[in-house]
Structure 1
Amino acid sequence: MEIILKEDVIGLGYKNDIVEVKSGYGRNYLIPQGKAIIASPSAKKVLAENLKQQAHKLAAILSKAEEEAAKFNGASVTVEGKVSTTGALYGSVTAATVAAELAKQGLEIDRKRVIMKDIKFVGEYAATLVFHKEVKVEIPVTVIAEGEVAPVKEEAPVAETEAEATETPAEEVAE
């Protein structure tokens, strides 16, 4: 079934998009909730005419979304969590967690606008913030163990220091 969305539907499309959905989803949920209409030829013509008339309004919405996105450029999130010995988190880091951490930094965003898979292990990940269908910002998300300050990458220099310590006596013996 082809429908025209009357508002943004997360995971389906944006306002004024023509999308294909299963008949039951369209008839039983989207249309009765007022989120969509059936995409008949006459409805498509009306949509095209409305889009022509609203072009300047859409440009204003796009510029507003770009201004909001500019606030989040360079932002990053670090989340501490309880971790097992294998590096797996007890629980997970979700979009709501990332939105809450951004709010602590003074950057308010709705959790529904944060797109990412749930994080279940320690490491570095990315989350996408969607402000408009054409304006998206990707921010890094780092998950560390609770109470851990040093990243895992610093273990390698320690191993090199031990190797240097064992080489020094071998050189003295050779002399």
Structure 2
Amino acid sequence: MKLILTTEVSGLGAPGDIVEVKNGYGRNYLIPRQYAILWTRGAETQIASIKKARDAREIRDLGTAKEVAGQLGALKVKLKTKAGASGRLFGSITTGDIADAVKAAGGPTLDRRRIVIDNAIKTTGTHRVSVKLHPEVAAPVDIEVLAS
């Protein structure tokens, strides 16, 4: 089955890529979750617009990615959220919260899908997350979670 990916699928490809997958995987997983659409000749224009949007979001080259990684490493990111007396959060910190906090701290605009949280952030204190800026560059970011 030939499909066009609409979002990034780990181990398969990026948005706008044309992939060949088994029928069941495409029909039962990718298409219902809107990770992909069926490939047709008319979908070529959709591929072009998806790739254009991806290129606008993506960091162009390795040098730029290393520069942004340097900016992220020097950044002091503080995130205020509701927490109990013991320091346990009501809920958890999401990748969207982190992307907003980085931007508020004066950092670059990050795509939330590029932020990797190893362990769920459910307590106050300092936590380290990783940001995939480029296939070869991942920048660590320290997030200080404070009770509000």
| TM-score, L = length of structure 1 | 0.53
Return the offset for 1:23.
5.0
Provide closer, same or farther for how the CA distance between residues 81 and 7 of structure 1 changes in structure 2, counting only shifts above 3 A. closer
Provide closer, same or farther for how the CA distance between residues 31 and 124 of structure 1 changes in structure 2, counting only shifts above 3 A. closer
Q: 2:92–2:120: 8 Å Cα contact kept in structure 1?
A: yes
SS of the residue corresponding to residue 86 of structure 1 reads coil
CA distance in 1, matches of 2:8, 2:76: 27
CA distance in 1, matches of 2:67, 2:9: 21
Return the offset for 1:88.
1.3
Cα displacement string for residues 39-84 of structure 1 (whole angstroms, at most 9, x for unaligned residues): xxxxxxxxxxxxxxxxxxxxx6333323332322222322122211
Which residues of 2 match residues 18-33 of structure 1 at below 5 A? 24-26=24-26, 29=31, 32=37
- Which protein has the larger Cα radius of gyration, Structure 1 or Structure 2? 1
Provide closer, same or farther for how the CA distance between residues 94 and 33 of structure 1 changes in structure 2, counting only shifts above 3 A. farther
- Give identity over the alignment, percent: 28
Provide closer, same or farther for how the CA distance between residues 100 and 10 of structure 1 changes in structure 2, counting only shifts above 3 A. farther
CA distance in 2, matches of 1:128, 1:88: 22
Return the offset for 1:141.
1.3
What residue is the counterpart of 1:139 in the other structure?
141
Provide closer, same or farther for how the CA distance between residues 112 and 86 of structure 1 changes in structure 2, counting only shifts above 3 A. same
What residue is the counterpart of 1:102 in the other structure?
102
Which residues of 2 match residues 121-136 of structure 1 at below 5 A? 121-136=123-138
Larger strand proportion of the pair: 2
Provide closer, same or farther for how the CA distance between residues 8 and 83 of structure 1 changes in structure 2, counting only shifts above 3 A. closer
Return the offset for 1:33.
5.1
Gaps of 5+ in 1: 35-59, 147-175
Q: 1:7–1:14: 8 Å Cα contact kept in structure 2?
A: no
What residue is the counterpart of 1:149 in the other structure?
none
Q: 2:76–2:105: 8 Å Cα contact kept in structure 1?
A: no
Gaps of 5+ in 2: 40-59
Return the offset for 1:26.
3.5
**Regions of 4+ moved over 4 Å:** 5-8
